[in-house]
Amino acid sequence: MTRRNYTASKSRTQGRNAWAISFRHPVVKKDPTSSSGIKVRRGLGTSDEAEADKLVSEMNELLGDESYWSLSQKSRAERRFSKVIVDAFYDPMTADAEVDPWEIRDEVIPLPSSEDGYAKILFLGTTGAGKTSLLRHLIGSHPERDRFPSTSTGKTTISDIEVIIDDAPFKAVITFFPERTVRTYIQESIEQACRAVWRQESNEKIAKEFLNHKEQRFRLGYVLGTWSQESSESEDDVWSFEEPDLIYSDEQVPGDSGDTLYPSVEERRAMQEKLEGYVEQLRQIARHAIDAVSNEWGENVLELKGDELDLVLDYFDEILEKMPGYDDLVDDVIREILVRFEWLPAGELRRKGKWPERWVFETEDRGEFIAYVRWFSSNYAPAFGRLLTPLVQGIRVKGPFQSEELGNNKGLVLMDGEGLGHVTETVAEVSTRFTRRYQMADVILLVDNAEQPMQAAPLSVLRSVATSGYQEKLAIAFTHFDLVDGPNFRGLKDKRDHVLASVANALNSMRTTVGDSVVNSMEMSLEDRCFMLGGLDKPASKIPSKILKVVISEMTRMIEFFRNSIVPGEAPSAAPVYDPASLHYAVQDAARQFQTLWNARLGYQPQEGIPKEHWTRIKALTRRVARMGGVEYDYLRPVAELIARLSEGISRFLDRPVAWEPHGQNEAEESEAIDQIRSEVFQALHSLAMERLINEHLKEWSEAFEHAGRGSSYERARHLRDIYQTAAPIPGVELSREASEFLNNVRALVFDAIESAGGKIVAVRA
Rounded mean pLDDT, 343-347? 91
Beta bridge partners of residue 121, listed in sequence order: 414, 443
Rounded mean pLDDT, 700-711? 82
CB neighbours of 113 closer than 8 A, spacing ≥ 6?
none
The confidence band for 390, taking pLDDT boundaries of 50, 70 and 90, is very high
d(CA 712, CA 723): 17
pLDDT at 426: 46
pLDDT at 258: 36
d(CA 436, CA 639): 12
pLDDT at 356: 94
- 566 C-beta neighbours (distance < 10 Å), count: 17
Helix axes 456-468, 492-508, angle to 10 degrees: 60
Q: With 80 as the cut, is the pLDDT of residue 398 above it?
A: yes
User: What average pLDDT is seen over the chain?
Assistant: 86
Residues of the chain with pLDDT > 70, as a percent, come to 90
Distances (CA, A) of 651 to 472, 590, 674: 15, 11, 9
The boundaries of every CATH 3.40.50.300 domain in the chain are: 103-167+400-564
Which comes out higher in pLDDT, residue 311 or 9? Answer: 9
Which comes out higher in pLDDT, residue 688 or 525? Answer: 688
How wide is the angle at C-alpha 675 spanned by C-alphas 425 and 665, nearest 5°? 140
d(CA 486, CA 615): 44
Q: With 80 as the cut, is the pLDDT of residue 708 above it?
A: no
Please classify residue 508 by burial: count the beta carbons closer than 10 Å to its beta carbon, then call 0-12 exposed, 13-18 middle and 19+ buried. Answer: exposed
Q: What is the pLDDT of residues 108-138, one digit of tens each?
A: 999 999 999 999 999 999 888 889 889 999 9
Helix (H) / strand (E) containing 760: strand 760-761
CB neighbours of 597 closer than 8 A, spacing ≥ 6?
427, 607, 610, 641
Rounded mean pLDDT, 670-681? 92
Straight-line distance from the first to the last Cα atom of the chain, in angstroms, rounded to the nearest whole number? 53
pLDDT at 329: 93
Window from 469-473, 533-537, 592-596, 738-742 with minimum mean pLDDT: 533-537
The confidence band for 456, taking pLDDT boundaries of 50, 70 and 90, is confident
Rounded mean pLDDT, 296-313? 76
Beta bridge partners of residue 125, listed in sequence order: 447
CB neighbours of 84 closer than 8 A, spacing ≥ 6?
42, 44, 45, 55
The confidence band for 154, taking pLDDT boundaries of 50, 70 and 90, is low
Rounded mean pLDDT, 619-624? 90
Cβ–Cβ under 8 Å, residues 271 and 229: yes
pLDDT at 664: 60
Window from 51-60, 471-480, 733-742 with minimum mean pLDDT: 733-742
Cβ–Cβ under 8 Å, residues 157 and 164: no
Q: What is the pLDDT of residues 190-245, one digit of tens each?
A: 999 999 999 999 999 999 999 998 877 789 999 999 997 444 444 444 433 443 33
d(CA 563, CA 77): 48
pLDDT at 641: 96
In this prediction the pTM is 0.83
Half-sphere exposure of residue 168: CA atoms within 13 angstroms, side-chain side: 5
Q: Is 605 left (phi over 0), alpha (psi -120 to 50) or beta?
A: beta
pLDDT at 608: 86
- 667 C-beta neighbours (distance < 10 Å), count: 12
Which comes out higher in pLDDT, residue 607 or 98? Answer: 607
Helix (H) / strand (E) containing 449: strand 443-449
pLDDT at 402: 86
The pair phi, psi for residue 443, each rounded to 5°, is -135, 135
Half-sphere exposure of residue 469: CA atoms within 13 angstroms, side-chain side: 25
Helix (H) / strand (E) containing 340: helix 326-342
Q: What is the pLDDT of residues 20-38, one digit of tens each?
A: 899 988 887 655 445 567 8
Out of 2.60.40.1250, 3.40.50.10490, 3.20.20.10, 3.40.50.300, the CATH code matching 103-167+400-564 is 3.40.50.300
Q: With 80 as the cut, is the pLDDT of residue 282 above it?
A: yes
Closest CA to 87 of 31, 55, 42: 42
pLDDT at 238: 40
